[in-house]
Amino acid sequence: MIIVLFGPPGAGKGTQAAVIQKEFNLPQLATGDMLRAAVQAQSEVGMQAKSYMDNGELVPDEVVVGIISDRISQPDCRHGFLLDGFPRTTAQAVALDRMLTNKNRRISQVISLEVDEDELLTRIVKRKKEAGEQGRSDDNPETFKKRMDGYYKQTAPVLKYYATKNLLKTLDGMQPISTVSEQIRGVIKSLTS
In whole angstroms, how far apart are CA 7 and each of 14, 61, 70, 115?
Answer: 10, 18, 24, 8
* Touching ligand AMP, residues 88-127 (CB under 6 A): 88, 92
What's the DSSP call for residue 55? T
For 193, other C-beta atoms within 10 Å of its C-beta total: 5
DSSP secondary structure of 142-157: HHHHHHHHHIIIIITH
Q: Is 147 in the site for ligand AMP (CB under 6 A)?
A: yes
185 catalytically annotated: no
Stretch that binds ligand AMP, among 82-90, 103-111, 123-131, 158-166 (CB under 6 A): 82-90
13 is catalytic: yes
Amino acid at 138: D
Whether the Cβ atoms of residue 93 and residue 87 lie closer than 8 Å to each other: yes
Q: Which listed range, 16-24, 86-94, 104-112, 168-176, lies at the site for ligand AMP (CB under 6 A)? A: 86-94
Paired residues of 25 in beta bridges = none
SS3 86: coil
C-alpha–C-alpha distance, residues 75 and 38, integer Å = 21
How many residues contact ligand AMP, by CB under 6 A? 17
Regarding 7 and contact with ligand AMP (CB under 6 A), the answer is no
Using rule CB under 6 A, residue 12 touches ligand AMP = no
Report CA 87 to chain centroid distance, whole Å: 7
**57 vs 97 by CB, closer to ligand AMP:** 57
Closest CB to ligand AMP among 65 and 168?
A: 65
- Give min distance, CB of 96 to ligand AMP, in A: 10
State yes or no: is 36 an active-site residue.
Answer: no
78 assigned to active site:
no
Residues 6+ apart with CB under 8 A from 132: none
Chain residues in the site for ligand AMP (CB under 6 A): 9, 31-32, 35, 52-53, 56-59, 64, 85-86, 88, 92, 138, 147
Active site residues: 13, 88, 127, 136, 147
